[in-house]
Amino acid sequence: MGKLEQLISPSYVGELLENIRAMVVLMESDGTLISWNGAFESYKIIYPSANKMGDFFPTTDKHQFLMNLNSKVRQRWNAGLTQQGEEQPRYCTCTLIPMQDERILFIAEKVETDSDFQEIIERLGRRVKLFQIESDFTKKIARNKQVEMESVMVQAKEVAQIDPLTFLLNRRMIVRELQDEVLRAERYNTLLTISVLDIDHFKSVNDTYGHLVGDEVLRQVAYNLRDHTRQPDLAGRYGGEEFLILLPSSDLTAATKQASRLCKQISETTSHIQGHSITVTVSIGIAQLRSGMETWDTLLNRADNAMYEAKRSGRNRWFVSE
């Protein structure tokens, strides 16, 4: 079977761009807007006179966008985009792709909470409000409802922070923890190293055995991460079959030892699922924070690039970003 881009007729590209949720913008090399799809239209409505992409980033993220734009190479990072009707910027994974005509393609995908669990959070929130109203009747009822309300709030917090499939921290929380750890390392001049781990050939597992088996493989890898990472290291599901590990107060030596253990443990673990015996391997990219020289997203980008280098080098191994 040929590649997808070779099989889709050019006449359908416009319809495809208008029916995806990702925002796609074509820009000049200086960020001047040329054209965009419907997903970006709500952002353009906010500032109809704005003609450069940088105008749609809050001040805290605009500088990083301009740095990535001026680099003239493919970049991927996380940033906020101003959203109409919202007090806070909408968190997105952004990609810049230089084109042969010196124009640049900008793609931004919103980081969404799983819809089913978002519904649970909202339902729990409504219950909290109900308990607060009822607590006004009597002190005795108020006390009982207070206890119940606290229990519900704990459940809501857990749902909002935990990936429902692997029970690791979800993307939003592991990125927030990364931001906090970078600030802490900068403030106290301590070490921080991170690892990006990706399951090798995971698409083949889904294609061969189905997504239910693929989900179980993800859970088994997550179990290994929990069992073979030390405190106070943190592991989270960054997206799909990709995981992020934070190693506070640790250098590259500690991270490479951990990566070596994880590669060995996961490759030697056979999962027995629905009558199938499945073994997978992982590729791991490692990067240590360059104190005073980079931000959390550039650190994450270096680790991500190192992970892809591990894949290019043969998979089932780790690679360090120097």
Could you give the number of structural domains in the chain?
3
Domain co-membership, 29 together with 105 = yes
89, two tokens = 């910027």
From 311, 312, 307, select the one nearest 320 (Cα to Cα).
307
Q: Give the CATH number of the domain where residue 234 resides.
A: 3.30.70.270
130 occurs within a structural domain: yes
DSSP character for 43? H
Domain co-membership, 284 together with 315 = yes
Domain co-membership, 226 together with 211 = yes
Domain co-membership, 198 together with 264 = yes
Residue pair 54/70 in contact (Cβ under 8 Å)? The answer is no
Q: What is the pLDDT of residues 86-117, one digit of tens each?
A: 556 677 889 999 998 889 999 988 765 555 45
204 occurs within a structural domain: yes
245, two tokens = 């590990």
Report the pLDDT value the prediction gives residue 1, as an integer from 0 to 100: 44
Query: Prior bond to 164 cis, omega within 30?
Result: no
Domain co-membership, 179 together with 306 = yes
268 catalytic? Reply is no
Domain co-membership, 215 together with 228 = yes
Question: Does residue 14 surpass a pLDDT of 80?
Answer: no
Residue pair 90/64 in contact (Cβ under 8 Å)? The answer is no
166 occurs within a structural domain: no
Q: What is the pLDDT of residues 107-165, one digit of tens each?
A: 988 765 555 455 555 666 677 677 666 665 666 665 666 666 666 565 556 567 899 99
Q: Which residues share a beta bridge with 106?
A: 25, 96
- Phi-psi label, residue 71: left if phi above 0, alpha if psi -120 to 50, beta otherwise: alpha
Residue pair 174/234 in contact (Cβ under 8 Å)? The answer is yes
**Average pLDDT over all residues of the chain:** 85
Least confident of 12-26, 30-44, 280-294: 12-26
Q: Give the CATH number of the domain where residue 67 resides.
A: 3.30.450.20
29 occurs within a structural domain: yes
Report the pLDDT value the prediction gives residue 139, as an integer from 0 to 100: 60
From 247, 267, 266, 265, select the one nearest 256 (Cα to Cα).
247
Range of the domain at 155: 115-161
61 occurs within a structural domain: yes
The H-or-E segment that residue 14 falls in is helix 13-18
Domain co-membership, 312 together with 200 = yes
Catalytic residue among 181, 241, 294, 322: 241
The sign one gets for the Cα dihedral 93, 96, 308, 245 is: negative
Report the pLDDT value the prediction gives residue 255, as an integer from 0 to 100: 96
Q: Judging by DSSP bridges, how do beta strands 104-110 and 192-199 pair with one another?
A: unpaired
Q: Rounded distance, CA 134 to CA 142, Å?
A: 7
Residue 270: strand, helix, or coil: coil
246 occurs within a structural domain: yes
Tell me what percent of the residues of the chain surpass a pLDDT of 70: 81
Domain co-membership, 16 together with 96 = yes
Domain co-membership, 75 together with 153 = no
Q: Which amino acid is at 176?
A: R
Domain co-membership, 145 together with 199 = no
Domain co-membership, 262 together with 309 = yes
95 occurs within a structural domain: yes
Q: What is the pTM of this model?
A: 0.56
Q: What is the pLDDT of residues 245-292, one digit of tens each?
A: 999 999 999 999 999 999 999 999 998 998 999 999 999 999 999 988
Domain co-membership, 46 together with 82 = yes
149, two tokens = 């309300």
